[in-house]
Amino acid sequence: AQSRGETLHAGNGGEIHQTAGGDVPVMTTQGGMPVSDDQNSLKAGARGPTLLEDQHFREKIFHFDHERIPERVVHARGYGAHGVFETYETLADITKADLFQRAGEKTEMFVRFSTVAGNKGSGDLARDVRGFATRFYTKEGNWDLVGNNIPVFFIQDAIKFPDLIHAAKAEPDRGFPQAQTAHDNFWDFISLTPEAMNMALWIMSDRTIPRSFRFMEGFGVHTFRMINAEGKSTFVKFHWKPKQGLQSVVWNEALKLNGADPDFHRRDLWDAIKAGDYPEWELGLQLFDEKFAEEFEFDVLDATKIIPEEQVPIRIVGKMTLDRCVENFFQETEQVAFQTGNVVPGIDFSNDPLLQGRNFSYLDTQLKRLGGPNFTHIPVNAPRCPVHSFQQDGHMSMRNPRGRANYEPNSWGGEKGGPREAPEAGFSSYPEEISGQKARVRSETFADHYSQARQFYLSQTETEQTHIGNAFVFELSKVETMAIRSNVVAHLRNVDEDLAKTVADGLRLQEMPAAAKAARPTIMDLAKSDKLSIILN
């Protein structure tokens, strides 16, 4: 690897000039006034007091006082980089999305990797899901594929998200733990939320302690739609496959790394890119139709389930290369505002109730986090295609309508009249037929919470299974309330009896709890029927 340090510029005879001149620019106030002295405030006499009239002093302190913005309510700690996506082959038969029309097409990207629960200053090696947020600056607008490094999620309905996150973050009375899943509130919530059981197995696996961002997979999680020029819809699940391979550390290493270098992951990404060792991921699609969706054992709108690659193989369609570090962490990584709602013509949502909630949440939270409705004007958020609308004003507006008209329809022709809608080329939602009674419900098809957890556990190697067992024991051993420990083991009995026993023994539980009552027959109950053969085999 290259040396990390940059050469310091020593001026004439080893002295560094502290005043402007030559190629050293003149320091100014924000108003552009040249500054003569940045070391001393303006005083009445050598020993003060400081004078209110010192505009430079007041402006400097005022600006400093307002440097902080709210950290993200989740995924507060993250690291970003720029890159490029290359399309391998045309997907015109499946989607009209412009970026997938031509083989060899290059699309600029911005990516931010993150942990979920810890605050902005937490350690990189926490056992946690990693955010894998990607933005494609396409010719038809920004497409944000805002994913994670785990293909499933804790909950099925966005209305539970505030509860999940409250339970996962620091407990409200004591204000700790800051970045760990090892506490009562978190496991209390999990033990009372059987739908989280598949995710619980994934997060206790090695995937939540990745070696670095470069060695993680990424997943769009939800089922989306791709729409072609004829209006035909195909369901799709998105995957990012790291060319570097998939690697994790073990828990012992994670603990040491977190202590020795809590910035280990961000340093790794920075160093690799600066050294020209650009990380790459291939984009893969699982494509399927309505018929498959109807026949699949689980509901494709349920974000707690995957579609096994054995059932729908992944088709690799392009490659992302991260080749440029940010120039300024705050301006780019902190101010980037990914939104699941940012799609382009040819890509559409499904009715996954988690995705539907996310589409509201990101826009809403960013209004507050970035201080007003004009955060799309910030360069990292601005599309790299023409943008014209009649939205105007608000704090920090950089992009108001030009010309006379700021409304439509209008009678002003040409440039004066401003932009007009494009019935053919514009985005139109897939005209899915919908019927049903208005009610607060959860579909019966979302009710099997254990089968895929078992499938995941059984798919792991013996070593990986041992790590999962150890992780449950470690995390639950930090839970002070014994009943919560038992309640989690009660669920594990529906996943795998050996795992449940390992965890119960590791926790020295006095007695084995009865298996949790499942909303639907568990995999064990169904073992004799052939309905779930795909899961058992």
196 binds ligand HEM (CB under 6 A): no
- Would you list the DSSP string of 447-491? ---SHHHHHHHHHS-HHHHHHHHHHHHHHHHT---HHHHHHHHHH
User: Coil, helix or strand for 8?
Assistant: coil
Q: How far apart are CA 391 and CA 386, in angstroms?
A: 15
- Would you list the DSSP string of 112-155? EEEESSS-TTS-TTSS--EEEEEEEEETTEEEEEEEESSSS-S-
Is residue 374 annotated as part of the catalytic site, yes or no? Answer: no
- CB closer to ligand HEM out of 98 and 334: 334
Which one is catalytic: 142, 148, 149, 494? 148
363 binds ligand HEM (CB under 6 A): no
- Please give the span between the terminal C-alpha atoms of the chain, in angstroms, as a whole number: 45
Q: At its nearest, how many Å lie between ligand HEM and the CB of residue 330?
A: 13
- The single residue among 303, 312, 479, 489 that binds ligand HEM, judged by CB under 6 A, is 303
- The single residue among 211, 266, 358, 493 that binds ligand HEM, judged by CB under 6 A, is 358
Q: Which of residues 159-188 bind ligand HEM (CB under 6 A)?
A: 161
Region of 408 on the Ramachandran plot (φ > 0 left; ψ -120 to 50 alpha; else beta): beta
Q: Which H/E stretch holds residue 82?
A: strand 78-87
HSE of 317, CA atoms in CB hemisphere, 13 A: 21
- CB closer to ligand HEM out of 40 and 328: 328
347 binds ligand HEM (CB under 6 A): no
Q: At its nearest, how many Å lie between ligand HEM and the CB of residue 383?
A: 17
Site stretch for ligand HEM (CB under 6 A), options 74-82, 294-302, 399-407, 513-521: 74-82
- Would you list the DSSP string of 16-31? PP-S-BTTBPPPB-TT
354 binds ligand HEM (CB under 6 A): yes
- CB closer to ligand HEM out of 378 and 524: 378
Per-residue contact string for residues 305-344; x = within reach of ligand HEM by CB under 6 A: -------------------------------xxx------
Q: At its nearest, how many Å lie between ligand HEM and the CB of residue 522?
A: 25
Q: At its nearest, how many Å lie between ligand HEM and the CB of residue 402?
A: 29
- The single residue among 78, 141, 284, 346 that binds ligand HEM, judged by CB under 6 A, is 78
Strand spans (E) along 338-402: 347-348
Q: At its nearest, how many Å lie between ligand HEM and the CB of residue 70?
A: 8
Structure tokens given for 535: 């899961």
269 binds ligand HEM (CB under 6 A): no
Using Cβ positions, the residue closest to ligand HEM within the complex turns out to be 131
- The single residue among 221, 227, 273, 320 that binds ligand HEM, judged by CB under 6 A, is 221
357 binds ligand HEM (CB under 6 A): yes
Structure tokens given for 223: 């089922």
Structure tokens given for 187: 């496991």
- CB closer to ligand HEM out of 370 and 516: 370
- Distances in Å between the Cα of 334 and the Cα atoms of 34, 43, 114, 342, 375 are 30, 37, 11, 18, 12
Q: Is 525 exposed, middle or buried (0-12, 13-18, 19+ CB in 10 A)?
A: exposed
Q: How far apart are CA 8 and CA 444, in angstroms?
A: 65
Q: Which H/E stretch holds residue 83?
A: strand 78-87
Q: At its nearest, how many Å lie between ligand HEM and the CB of residue 519?
A: 21
- The single residue among 244, 321, 361, 445 that binds ligand HEM, judged by CB under 6 A, is 361
239 binds ligand HEM (CB under 6 A): no
Is residue 222 annotated as part of the catalytic site, yes or no? Answer: no
Strand spans (E) along 218-340: 218-219, 224-227, 233-242, 280-288, 315-325
Structure tokens given for 486: 């038992």
Site stretch for ligand HEM (CB under 6 A), options 68-76, 94-102, 279-287, 324-332: 68-76
147 binds ligand HEM (CB under 6 A): yes
- CB closer to ligand HEM out of 136 and 507: 136
- The single residue among 100, 143, 288, 362 that binds ligand HEM, judged by CB under 6 A, is 362
Q: Which of residues 439-458 bind ligand HEM (CB under 6 A)?
A: none
- CB closer to ligand HEM out of 199 and 504: 199
Q: Which of residues 104-123 bind ligand HEM (CB under 6 A)?
A: 112, 114
- CB closer to ligand HEM out of 116 and 484: 116
148 binds ligand HEM (CB under 6 A): yes
- Distances in Å between the Cα of 526 and the Cα atoms of 285, 425, 518 are 31, 50, 12
77 binds ligand HEM (CB under 6 A): no
Q: At its nearest, how many Å lie between ligand HEM and the CB of residue 356?
A: 9
User: Coil, helix or strand for 159?
Assistant: helix
What is the 3-state secondary structure of 178-223? CCCCCCHHHHHHHHCCHHHHHHHHHHCCHHHCECCHHHCCEECCCC
- CB closer to ligand HEM out of 361 and 445: 361
Residue with tokens 């007091």: 49
* Active site residue ranges: 75, 148
Binding residues for ligand HEM, rule: CB under 6 A, are 72-75, 78, 112, 114, 131, 133, 146-148, 153, 158, 161, 221, 303, 336-338, 354, 357-358, 361-362, 365-366, 369
